């Protein structure tokens, strides 16, 4: 995949400056954690990386905007109200070009493995289950880039363990926004954003010393 370069990103919404010159170089197969207070620009940055938003200034290179290349879990779960969970997962795998001819069977098995009823529809899933389904979809594609925006928000303790175990064992490039110090233990490098600027970059140990 190569390196992802985020260079001098600026983004404003009216008079509100969300990002003020953010730069990051993310190495191939590196896990990066982004933390900061509410309003620091974390989610805005992820959306620019994925091409959902355009920056006012600066650029991002190394990211292919295709279903096969990246998996994305948004902060607030999207619910496919009238579609079965297994069908939603099947569609995601198919769009990503999953090599197996048994995608339907794989989708149903993944649902059961993660304690999601394959026949459940979006309107019957709790916010936590909806978030878990989105996480399952993102990881099942085995993307080159996994982008997670507060992946354990609204998740119960048992489901949180499943997600964190998966994050710990994920071997490709990952960018994760989180408010949890615990989750930062699973990343290689941490960026601390405040008011749209990077005020710290370093390891978990260095960040722990900063917090103390």
Q: Cα–Cα distance between 11 and 23 in angstroms, integer?
A: 13
Write the pLDDT tens digit of every residue in 143-193.
Answer: 999 999 999 988 888 888 889 999 999 999 999 999 988 899 999 999 999
3-state secondary structure of 193: strand
pTM for this one?
A: 0.91
pLDDT at 47 over 90: yes
- Sequence-distant (6+) residues with CB within 8 A of 12 are 18, 56
DSSP-assigned letter for residue 118? T
Q: Cα–Cα distance between 172 and 125 in angstroms, integer?
A: 29
């Amino acid at each position: 995949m190569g390196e992802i370069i985020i260079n001098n990103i600026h983004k404003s919404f009216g008079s509100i400056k969300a990002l003020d010159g953010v730069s990051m170089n993310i190495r191939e197969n590196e896990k990066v954690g982004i933390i900061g207070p509410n309003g620091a620009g974390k989610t805005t940055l992820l959306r620019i990386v994925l091409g959902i938003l355009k920056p006012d200034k600066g650029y991002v290179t190394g990211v292919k905007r295709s279903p096969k290349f990246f998996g994305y879990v948004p902060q607030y779960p999207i619910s496919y109200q009238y579609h079965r969970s297994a069908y939603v997962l099947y569609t995601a795998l198919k769009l990503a070009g999953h090599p197996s001819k048994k995608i339907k069977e794989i989708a149903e098995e993944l649902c059961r493995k993660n304690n999601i009823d394959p026949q459940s529809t979006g309107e019957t899933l709790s916010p936590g289950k909806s978030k878990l389904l989105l996480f399952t979809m993102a990881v099942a594609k085995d993307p080159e880039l996994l982008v997670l925006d507060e992946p354990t928000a609204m998740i119960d303790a048992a489901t949180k363990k499943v997600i964190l175990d998966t994050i710990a064992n994920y071997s490709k490039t990952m960018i994760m926004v989180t408010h949890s110090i615990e989750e930062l233990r699973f990343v290689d490098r941490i960026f601390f954003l405040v008011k749209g600027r990077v005020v710290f970059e370093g390891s978990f140990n260095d960040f722990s010393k900063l917090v103390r």
